[in-house]
Structure 1
Amino acid sequence: MAFYLALDLGGTKTEYVLADETRELARVRGGTIKRMRTDANTATQNLDKALAELTSITGVSMRSVTRSCVGAAGITVALVTDWIRKAFAKRVGGSLVLVGDVEIALDAAFFGGPGVLVMAGTGSNVAGRFLSGNLTTAGGWGPALADQGSGNRIGHQALRDTFFAIDEGRTTTLLPTILELWQLPDLDSLIGYANQIPAPDFTRLAPLVVRCAAEGDAVAQNVLQREAEELAHLAHLVIERLQRDASEGRPGWVPDLAFTGSILEHVAPIRDGIVQALQRRYPSLKVLPGTVDPILGALWRARIGELLKAGGA
C-alpha cells in the first residue's frame, strides 16, 4: 500500500496529513518548521513530534511514505528548502515535492487547472493559474503595503476610521469596544497605544469590527465594505490577466473563483462583498462553495506527483 504525506507549512504552525490512495489516515498540527521563523533545534523538535504523532495514530512508519508534498512560502529561500530536504531525507521515505503555499491552495480548489483564488486571513493575496499552468498574483505585499481584506487590515482601518469619525463629530461603537478590548481608560491612552513601536496587533480588532457591523454601526460596516471591494479589485486584475491569456482559444471565458482563509470562512460581509462586486462585472462568474483547505492541494500533489512531473507541471 502507498502512503502520502502532505504539509502546509506556515510561519506559526504546520499542518500535516497522512493518507493512503483514497483516505486520510491522520491529521495533526504542530509548531512551525520554517527556518526563517525559528531556529534549527526548534524546527527539528516540532517536526519530530508531529511525525511521531502521525505514526502513533496510524501505526505507519514515516519510512513507508511513498511521496511527500510540502507547501510553504519562501521556497526560493535556500535556508527554508535545504533544511526541509535534509530533514525529510533523514526521517521520511520516498520522494519529496516542494511547492509554494499559493500553489497548494490553488490545487485544493482547481486540481492543477485554471482558476482564481482569493486568500484572506491575517494577511491576504489573490492568485490565479493560467490555462498553461503558470501562476500570477496580485496583492500579498505585506501589512505595510497591501493585505487588503485581511484581519490586520480590517483592524487597522477600523481604528483609523474611528478617529476620522471623531474628527467629523460622528459616534461609533467601535471606540468603546476597542478601549475595552485593549483595557485602556480613555482616548489619550488609545492614541499612545495605537502609535507605539512596534505596533499593537491590529488583527485582534477584526472580530470587534465584524460584531459592531452586525449590530448596525455604520463606521464598521463601511470598513468591511471597502475592504471587500479592494480585495475584489485585486481579483478582477487577476481575472483579466487570465482572460487575456485565453482570449484566442476561449473568448468570453470567465475563470472560476474560490476562497480560502479565516476571514473568508467566517466574515460573510467580506466574502459576500467580493462576490457581489465581481458579479456586477462578470455575471457568469462561478464561485466554489465554502473555503478550500490548502493542505488538500498538497495531498493531491503528493498522490499524483509522478504524473505532474511527467507532464511538466
Structure 2
Amino acid sequence: MYLLGIDGGQTSTKSCLYDHDNGTCLLASGPPIDHMLTLNGQTKSKQGIQQSLQTLLARTTLMKTVDAAFVSISGVHKEHEDMIKGWIAECLRVDRFVIEGDVKANLAGASAGRNDGVLLIGGGGSIGYYCDGPHEFVAGGYGHILGDEGSAYWIGLQAIKAGIRYDNGLGPQTVLHDRILDRFGETSYWGVKKQVHADKIGRGDIADLATLVEKAANEGDAVAQSVLLQAGTELGELAVSVLTQMRASGIAGMDAVRTVYPTGGVFQSARWVRRSLEQTLRAYDPGVDVRDPSYPPIVGAILLAAESLGRSVHLPVIDRTLAEGEMRA
C-alpha cells in the first residue's frame, strides 16, 4: 500500500511517498506554491506540485498506483480541489484524495498525530488552530493584507515602516533604515515605494527582511528588538485566542488542552520572538506547555493519508528518514 503526502507552502513544495508494506519512505522538494485565487498563483502552484512529484517519482520504479494522498495546500479553497487532483493525475494515479489547507497537516506533524495541542504557525503567514475531529477553533489566517500578524512578512513590513518613520523624523533612529535601502538597491524610500507598487518587491522579498531584522536586533538595535518582541506577542495572542475559544465552548476536555506547538521559521528567533511568545502565553495561563514540533508538516500529511484509510504509519521508518537527513521541517 502506497501513501502520498504533499505539503505545498510559500517556501517550497514537499512530497513524500510512504510504502506501508515494505516500510520505506522517500521525500522530494519542488518550488513554492502561491495563493490559488489568481491565475498566476495557480500556475505557480501547479509547477510546485508537479516538479516535486516528478522528482519523487524519478527515485522509484516500483509504484503504479497510490492508495491515498493527503494534499496540504496553503490558502486552498473547495473550488480548487478538482484542479489540484488533475495536476496530480498528470503525474500518477491516486485512488483516494484528501485536500485540505495547511493547518491540519501542520498540527498532525507537530503533535505526531495526537492533535493534543494548539498549532501556531509563524512563517510567511500566521494562524492559530486546534482540531479534535468534529471541532475546530481558529484565530488569524487572513493573509498578508488583512492580517498575518507576527509573520515574517509582518516583521519585514514593520521594518520598512520603521525606516520610513525615521526618514520622516517621526520615529527613532535605526540601522534598519539604511540596511533596507541597501537590500533593495535604493537611495530613498520613495524608490522602495515605487518598487513595491510595481511588484518588483514582492511578498517574499518583504518576508525575507525578517532575517535582516533579527541580525539588527542581535546587534543591539532597539527598533529591531521591538519589532521582534511585538511579533512574539502577536503570535502569542493568536494562541491565546484559540485557547480562550476552546475553554468558552463548553465542550468536554477542551479546558484540559494546554500545549502549544509553534511552527515556522519566525520561531527560530529564540531570543526575541520565541521568548516574547512564551511570556504572552504564560501571562494567560502559567501552565501552558510550549513544545517544539515532533515532525514537519509533510509527515503530518502522510499520517493523515494513512488515517483516511483507517491505517497507521510506522513512525520509526519516518525517524530513520529524518536521521538520514532527507526530511526537514
Indicate the TM-score class for this superposition, using the shorter chain for normalisation. 0.7 to 0.9
Name the larger-Rg structure.
1
Aligned to 2:247, which of 243, 247, 253?
243
Q: What secondary structure does 1:304 align onto?
A: helix
Normalising by structure 2, we get a TM-score of: 0.79
1:284–1:303 CA distance, 2 compared to 1 (3 A) = same
| 2:288 aligned with 1:289 | no
Q: Which residue of 2 aligns with 1:311?
A: none
Q: Which residue of 2 aligns with 1:191?
A: 190
Paired with 1:296 and 1:17, the residues of 2 have a C-alpha distance of 8
Paired with 2:70 and 2:149, the residues of 1 have a C-alpha distance of 29
Per-residue CA deviations over 1:116-153 (Å, capped at 9, x if unaligned) read 11111122111122x45422211121222211111111
| 2:223 aligned with 1:219 | yes
Normalising by structure 1, we get a TM-score of: 0.83
Q: Which runs of 5+ in 1 are unaligned?
A: 309-313
**Residue correspondence of structure 1 range 1-313 to structure 2 within 5 A:** 2-10=1-9, 13-21=12-20, 23=23, 25-31=25-31, 36=37, 38=40, 47-61=49-63, 63-78=64-79, 80-89=80-89, 91-110=92-111, 111=113, 113-129=115-131, 131=132, 133-165=134-166, 167=169, 170-185=172-187, 189-194=188-193, 196-198=196-198, 200=201, 201-246=205-250, 249-250=252-253, 253-266=256-269, 268-290=271-293, 292-307=295-310
Q: What secondary structure does 2:234 align onto?
A: helix
The letter of the residue matching 2:95 is G
Please, which moves more after superposition, 285-294 or 47-56?
A: 47-56
Q: What secondary structure does 1:59 align onto?
A: coil
1:218–1:291 CA distance, 2 compared to 1 (3 A) = farther
Paired with 2:221 and 2:45, the residues of 1 have a C-alpha distance of 44
1:299–1:169 CA distance, 2 compared to 1 (3 A) = closer
Paired with 1:8 and 1:15, the residues of 2 have a C-alpha distance of 5
Q: What secondary structure does 2:286 align onto?
A: coil
Q: Which residue of 1 aligns with 2:320?
A: none
What is the total number of aligned residue pairs between the two structures? 300
Please, which moves more after superposition, 45-54 or 216-225?
A: 45-54
Paired with 2:282 and 2:47, the residues of 1 have a C-alpha distance of 47
The letter of the residue matching 2:29 is R
Percentage identity across paired residues of the two chains: 28
Q: Which runs of 5+ in 2 are unaligned?
A: 312-329
Please, which moves more after superposition, 285-294 or 40-49?
A: 40-49
Shift of 1:54: 2.1
Partners of 1:113 and 1:133 within 8 A in 2: no
CA RMSD of aligned residues (A): 2.9
Partners of 1:125 and 1:147 within 8 A in 2: yes
Shift of 1:18: 0.8
Paired with 1:132 and 1:42, the residues of 2 have a C-alpha distance of 31
